[in-house]
Amino acid sequence: METRVQLTSQDLIALEEQYGAHNYHPLDVVLSHGEGVWVWDVEGQRYMDCLSAYSAVNQGHAHPRIRQALVEQAERLPLTSRAFRNDQLGRFYQRLATLTGYEMILPMNTGAEAVETALKAARKWGYQVKGIPGAAEIITCDGNFAGRTISIISFSTEEQYRAGFGPFTPGFKTVPYGDAAALEAAITPDTVAFMVEPIQGEGGVVVPTEGYLRQVRDICDRHNVLFIADEIQTGLGRTGKLFACDHEDVKPDMVTIGKALSGGYYPVSAALSSTEILGVFQPGDHGSTFGGNPLGAAVAQAALDVLVEENMIENAAEMGEYFQDQLAEINSPHVKEVRGKGLMIGVELHDAAGGARRFCEALQDAGILAKETHHNIIRFAPPLVISREDIDWALERIRPVLLMD
């Protein structure tokens, strides 16, 4: 039997750097296992995870009920493709529809795929149902982030995401985020949809003015334009509600979800909408070999069950308010603003602070894993299972970092 050589963090980092494409700039911590809000590196050092894999691990690392569902289904039947039916997909559809109130689901794998699905559905709806006279237009916001496919970067306003990747997919128009009047002014007879993040994650944890989403809903209704909410990061409890749009009692025409839909065990995403909208797809119009597979469907059902039955959404609301209030009380000369909703919190630093990266590296040394977004914002987004005791432990370590020279 071959003996496996124990490699150090530096050994493993060197392998990544040698053989992997350099499309990420991670913190230099090499994790080997996790449980709840905690993760451990290969040397056995423990850290609190305050990123949650960009909200994919809302239910906490290695949740045992989700793991059990994964193992049991993997032993039975992992994949059929959609050429055949499986005994998990219908159950998944029903569970998700009952929880969210949407009539129809189209499952995919990654968040970017769910967004591509929404874009395709909106365009076909525009031609077949709305009967637009020209080429379908979709309006998005500056500062958006929905993935890095060619079509998605075509409406990005982040230059790095676009540089060197053109020509781009036409049919997109950009308006300022949070500006309802700008949205209404941009609508033309060819506009089929407006897609927006209820809170911008990669854009810097940007929370729009209260009432914005309600205004968006009213504008889209008046102009017969689809309101698409990208809830891939904000959805499934992250902000203290099932969806971030629920804070304004707004129901979009279509919602994209992913990440926490599988509790971090397996890539599962979906577009949710009405039969009128998703019903425009006919066999062969859109699909995925892995989308809707039995393994992903079983895992997603378990992930949804624990999210609801273990009161993680309510905990996110309560712990998020406490965490944000405590962070705001740290009288640091580096901090410009603390903002967010639920357990999606951003700490914006002044330009003179020298960037958020050095603070994230100092937090790592103190046992907390957080990540910068943009140049000067630290994002704190721990798993929704976090306790007040955990937050107090973290705050003892965050305070001196935010107060350092």
**Cα angle at 216 between 211 and 221, to 5 degrees?**
130
How far is the C-alpha of 386 from the C-alpha of 395, rounded, in Å? 13
* Amino acid at site 6: Q
Q: How many CB atoms lie within 10 A of CB 169?
A: 14
Residues 46 and 40 sit within 8 Å (Cβ to Cβ) = yes
The CA distance from 236 to 101, in Å, is 13
Contact (CB, 8 A) for 365 and 21: no
Of 344, 358, 307, 342, residue with least CA distance to 50: 344
ω before 208 within 30° of 0 (cis)? no
How far apart, in whole angstroms, are the C-alpha atoms of residue 180 and residue 385? 35
CA dihedral 272, 278, 281, 285 (to 10 degrees): -30
Annotated catalytic residue, options 230, 281, 290, 323: 230
Q: What angle do CA 110, 115, 119 make, to 5 degrees?
A: 150
The beta-carbon contacts of 327-336 under 8 Å, at least 24 apart in sequence, are 327/380, 327/395, 327/398, 330/398, 330/399, 330/402, 330/403, 332/402, 332/403, 334/359, 334/402, 334/403, 335/402, 336/376
**Active-site option among 145, 227, 243, 359:** 145
The DSSP symbol for 252 reads -
Angle, to 10 degrees, between the axis of helix 312-328 and the axis of helix 388-402?
30
The single residue of 241, 259, 341, 371 carrying the catalytic annotation is 259
230 is catalytic: yes
Q: Is 145 a catalytic residue?
A: yes
Q: How far apart, in whole angstroms, are the C-alpha atoms of residue 302 and residue 396?
A: 34
- Which two tokens mark 222? 């008046």
Torsion of CA 353, 355, 360, 363, to 10 degrees: -10
DSSP, res 128: I
Catalytic residue list contains 341: no
Which active-site residues does the annotation give? 145, 230, 259
